[in-house]
Amino acid sequence: MPNRLLSLAIAVALLSACALPPTGDRAAPQQYQLSLDEYPTPLAEPLAGILLIEQPRAAPGFDNRNIAYQVRDFEIQHYTRSRWADTPTRMLNGVLINVLESSGIAEVVTTPATNMPPDLRLVIDQLSLQQRFTDSDTSYTQLRMRVQLIDPNAQRVLGSQLINVRQPAPSANAAGGVRAANAALAEAVVEITQFTEALLRTR
């Protein structure tokens, strides 16, 4: 009888061990980036002197590295096995600096860390990024933000625009949502660049 009980205990222990995922799988969720492959062709000459890009600010619930999705209205959920490599606001900031610098829209594109007095400030807030499911197999990623161009010397807002971009996800999972997010980012950056250029040409 003792031998039988011992054998049963060993069998249960082995089954329990097989049911547990490997430690590495639990400790290392997949990480994804927001980035661009192409940058705009530079303008013939700059339209501004020093353009300061403020660190974008997120809408409530989106200032983290979680990849958000929504199945029901007003309810934010997060993928447990996938994360952003950094917060979307920080990744957007890096992309914007590179894009606007490549565009030649200003003589200098800078950040608050440089302590250079700017001629203009580009401010982005209310940023949200999430994959929204319309059914179990269909989803899209939505990127929303508000963009303002400010003249700090005149202490006035030159213009403000709400950006709301949707891109279909190629698959109903985190990877599909990320691909759609990068497509949405590319579209949003074009809108931001066009918005800024239009204001600078008419001021």
104: containing domain: 30-202
CB 112 within 8 A of CB 54: yes
Q: How high is the pLDDT of residue 1?
A: 45
Residue 12 or residue 196, greater confidence: 196
How many distinct structural domains can be found in the chain? 1
pLDDT at 42: 86
Q: What was the pLDDT predicted at 27? A: 59
pLDDT at 133 over 90: yes
Which of the residue ranges 27-41, 88-102, 132-146, 174-188 would you say has the lowest mean pLDDT? 27-41
Q: How confident is the model at residue 15 (pLDDT cuts 50, 70, 90)?
A: very low
- Looking at residue 2, its pLDDT comes to 47
Q: For residue 13, is it within any domain?
A: no
Q: Give mean pLDDT, residues 156-177.
A: 98
Whether 136 contacts 67, CB under 8 Å = no
Structural domain includes residue 21:
no
| Contact call for residues 150 and 158 (beta carbons, < 8 A) | yes
Cα end-to-end distance, the chain, whole Å:
92
Indicate the residue type of 8. Answer: L
Can you tell me the distance from the alpha carbon of 72 to that of 134, in angstroms, rounded to the nearest whole number?
9
Distance CA 29, CA 101 (A): 33
Q: State what percent of residues in the chain have pLDDT above 70.
A: 87
- Spatial distance between the Cα atoms of 13 and 7, rounded to a whole number of angstroms: 10
Identify whether 17 is part of a domain. no
Which pTM was predicted? 0.84
- Taking each helix axis from N to C end, the angle separating 174-202 and 88-103, rounded to the nearest 10 degrees, works out to 40
Is 110 inside any structural domain?
yes
pLDDT reported for residue 17: 36
- Whether residue 150 is contained in a domain is answered as yes
When pLDDT is averaged across residues 11-18 and rounded to a whole number, the result is: 33
Token pair in block for residue 167: 């891109």
**Residues 135, 136, 139, 144: is their CA dihedral positive or negative?**
positive
Would 3 be classed as within a structural domain? no
- Type of residue numbered 137: D
Instruction: Show the beta-strand stretches assigned E in 19-138.
Output: 30-32, 48-53, 66-70, 77-84, 106-110, 120-133
Instruction: Give residue-wise pLDDT tens across range 138-153.
Output: 999 999 999 999 999 9
50 touches 201 (CB < 8 A): no
Confidence bin at 37 (pLDDT 50/70/90): confident
* CATH for 178: 3.40.50.10610
Whether 161 is covered by a domain: the verdict is: yes
